[in-house]
Amino acid sequence: MVSEAASTRVKEKTNLLACVISVLTTFITSFTIPYLINAQYAGLGGKVGFVYGSICAAMFVMAFLFIPELKNRSLEEVDQLFASGASLRKFGSIKTERAEQLYVEEIHEAKTKGSDDV
């Protein structure tokens, strides 16, 4: 999800950050579960689900609020959205030009300039 929601300019750094967070989260979870379940430490047993369930619910809310909707958008359109400086919540309603349209317009402008010079 994170790799699709980044501008092409920072995609490598975003993917690196996502991988680091994933490894750290996996380590912390794997390290803490035995201590949370075991009776001589926290002794939560099945209640550990409430701990990790609440973290999961909080992350769902964060993802809903801070990751923009990019459904049916090309990478070029995503770059246009980030370059526009618009709020992430407004990405779904902003009109962008597809790469094919930009290419056709560029060709048309080049032909028009060429005919004006002649």
**Tokens of residue 59, six digits:** 């992350």
The yes-or-no verdict on residue 33 having pLDDT over 80 is: yes
CA distances from 19 to 25, 26, 57 (A): 10, 11, 21
| 79 or 30, greater pLDDT | 30
Q: Which of 68, 75, 66 is nearest to 94 (CA)?
A: 68
pLDDT tens, residue by residue, 39-88: 899 989 889 999 999 999 999 999 888 888 778 887 788 888 888 888 87
CB 94 within 8 A of CB 70: no
For residues 30 and 71, what is the distance between their CA atoms, to the nearest angstrom?
34
What's the predicted TM-score (pTM) here? 0.62
| 33 or 66, greater pLDDT | 33
